[in-house]
Structure 1
Amino acid sequence: MDRITALNVFRTVVERGSFAAASRHLGLSPAAVSKNVSELETHLSARLINRTTRRMSLTEAGSLYFERVVQILDDLEEADGTLQAGQSTPSGLLRVSAPVTATLVGLSDAIPKFLDRYPDISLDLNLDDRRVNLVEEGFDIALRGSDNLEDSGLIARQLTIMEHVVCAAPSYFDTHGQPARPEDLSRHNCIQFSLSDHAAKWSFRNANRSVSVPVNGRYKVSSSLAVRDALRAGFGLSLIPRMYVADDLASGRLCAALEDWTPNETSLYAVYPSRRYVVSKVRVFLDFLVEEFCD
């Protein structure tokens, strides 16, 4: 008995509802279909299907066995697809969720290069700072920034570490003074990025110690671009990824503070569902992300 063939025949008989229908679907003779099921039952020492001249039905053992057989055969098909995916031309619709500012600052200008490289891929890039459910919402990949990525059953690939900086406009520091140590932040109007893992408490370290400082201010907002706008307007100071304000710091539009302290760092990850094999369109986009963020 060819075990895989017998399992496929058994599954087809159940799904098609009769030996005759399975015979037609598989292109096998009715005798061959019956023989495969009988040999499988002999191998298992259990009757799987009750059959009469008019109808068939699964036994209790057959019903339990059928559920496992479907799972096993589907897993085998997926395993075959894993290898094929690695060898096939990347193609199809790729759905990606990514945070707004990290994408606009660090990635979006390179997207046309990726699409030119893989002309058979179409990209649906959803910019949203909320944490999407990849499986339920049908995304292939999501980019996530986090101090401590939760164990969510997803595969995570670190792309880069985003260094943070405390900064403000020169006009704000002229009026309120610069903080000389992290504890001084309690006396400042701190603009808070509300979606951050460290929105209410900023942590710093230097060669001698580490400190976490509760912060407060009149403005909390769920967009880092809005934080940057408030900084430029001289409204307060904030802790923000340096890459978001690099041009402002270089031009003097914003000034850094507490530079002898190392503040929070946020890692940027690409995450994707572990229950799926990595098809070629996902694999090449992951490679592209590493290329853009790690160079």
Structure 2
Amino acid sequence: MEPLHLDGIPEFILAVQLESFTAAALQLGVTSSAIGKSVSRLEKRLGVKLLHRTTRKLSLTNEGDAYFATCLRVMEALQDTEGFLTSGLVEPRGRLRIDLPAAFGRRHIAPMLIELSRQYAQLDLSITFAERTVDMVAEGIDLVVRIGDLKDDPELVARRLGEQQLVICASPEYLSDRPPINKKADLLEHDCIVGWRRGTRATWLLKGEKGLEDQEIRVRHELGDGDLLLKAVLDGCGLCQVPTWLVHEQLRSGELVTVLDQYAGARMPINVIWPRTLYIQRKVRVIIDALVTMTESNPGLFLPR
């Protein structure tokens, strides 16, 4: 195994973070030229260009972006370990990037993360919202939360947080002047509202003789946000299949009513996922533990009754 060289990496990280050789030099107490030469030697050793340099600013190349994310994780892990060895107690530090499902993440997880960041002064958060499949390593993402069945991936680890239950609902106004909905095939005669999807058949998951089955529907609107979907249904635009955590208040108030209850009730798992590694950084472990504690202390969180 080739020896690992760390020469130039601290200078590279700091220059990227401050977007300037001069600012990095001031912080390290050296000259700007020394920082530039250090990064140049690193690029020569790697055989790739890491930074675009102009008179005004520095910017990462594609290779530099991937290398920077890896360097940052390695250096933060070293800092965590050193802190543990010297004090016996590691406070989470550094920037943690977590990607969440939009409506679900905003309602259930983001408020807890913000509160947690108040507890740990050295923990910085980058929170994004998406439903897509992401390349966690390439995109520098520490944790994701996803809803639905997962594909086997030996490079990832998943911890189940809970599950959500799906119901089909509409506003009383929509149902009042439409044909009755008594069987699954009736969905083909109604306006259905779904989340935005790319190149997949429009179906809802319903109970059948052999378990859960895909039922084709007629789609009127595709909306890429859960809260917008909820508004459309409340406004009488059609039917939707949504989790109970999104609509339980409206169902309780009567603003929405469910249909096809004998076929509904499909459940989908909710997982937190992170890249497989021999050492889980303290900042990652703290968030995982907080998510697990939140769900274990409130088992009905995602399935309100």
The alignment's TM-score, normalised by the length of structure 2, stands at 0.64
1:110 deviates by 2.4
Aligned-pair Cα RMSD in Å: 3.3
1:270 deviates by 0.8
Residues 160 and 274 (structure 1), Cα distance of their counterparts in 2 relative to 1, 3 Å cut: same
1:11 deviates by 4.0
- Paired residue for 2:60? none
For residues 189 and 218 of structure 1, the distance between their equivalents in structure 2, rounded to whole angstroms, comes to 5
Residues 113 and 209 (structure 1), Cα distance of their counterparts in 2 relative to 1, 3 Å cut: closer
- Paired residue for 2:133? 131
- Paired residue for 1:240? 242
- Paired residue for 1:151? 152
After TM superposition, the structure 1 = structure 2 runs for residues 1-295 of structure 1, keeping only pairs within 5 Å, are 11=3, 81=81, 84=84, 87-146=89-148, 148-152=149-153, 153-195=155-197, 200-205=202-207, 210-275=212-277, 277-294=279-296, 295=298
| Per-residue CA distance 1:227-250 (angstroms, 9 max, x = gap) | 111101101001011111111111
1:154 deviates by 0.9
For residues 15 and 280 of structure 1, the distance between their equivalents in structure 2, rounded to whole angstroms, comes to 22
- The letter of the residue matching 1:215 is I
Residues 122 and 11 (structure 1), Cα distance of their counterparts in 2 relative to 1, 3 Å cut: closer
Residues 116 and 185 (structure 1), Cα distance of their counterparts in 2 relative to 1, 3 Å cut: same
- The letter of the residue matching 1:150 is K
Classify the secondary structure of the residue corresponding to 2:167: strand
1:288 deviates by 1.1
1:263 deviates by 3.8
Residues 103 and 94 (structure 1), Cα distance of their counterparts in 2 relative to 1, 3 Å cut: same
- The letter of the residue matching 2:115 is K
CA radius of gyration, larger in:
1
For residues 268 and 83 of structure 2, the distance between their equivalents in structure 1, rounded to whole angstroms, comes to 34
Compare 219-228 and 197-206 and name the one that shifted more.
197-206
- The letter of the residue matching 2:178 is H
The alignment's TM-score, normalised by the length of structure 1, stands at 0.66
Classify the secondary structure of the residue corresponding to 2:105: helix
For residues 90 and 129 of structure 1, the distance between their equivalents in structure 2, rounded to whole angstroms, comes to 27
For residues 175 and 143 of structure 1, the distance between their equivalents in structure 2, rounded to whole angstroms, comes to 40
| Per-residue CA distance 1:163-204 (angstroms, 9 max, x = gap) | 111000110111114422222212111111134998612222
1:262 deviates by 3.3
Determine which structure has the larger helix proportion and give its number. 1
| Per-residue CA distance 1:88-141 (angstroms, 9 max, x = gap) | 222221111111111112222323321233232111111223322211111110
Residues 157 and 227 (structure 1), Cα distance of their counterparts in 2 relative to 1, 3 Å cut: same
Residues 196 and 289 (structure 1), Cα distance of their counterparts in 2 relative to 1, 3 Å cut: farther
Residues 159 and 172 (structure 1), Cα distance of their counterparts in 2 relative to 1, 3 Å cut: same
Residues 289 and 210 (structure 1), Cα distance of their counterparts in 2 relative to 1, 3 Å cut: closer
Structure 2: 5+ residue stretches without partners: 8-73, 299-305
Percent identity (aligned): 24
Conserved 8 A contact 1:191-1:217: yes
Matched pairs, number: 225
For residues 130 and 144 of structure 2, the distance between their equivalents in structure 1, rounded to whole angstroms, comes to 10
Classify the secondary structure of the residue corresponding to 1:183: helix
Residues 209 and 141 (structure 1), Cα distance of their counterparts in 2 relative to 1, 3 Å cut: closer
Conserved 8 A contact 1:105-1:243: no
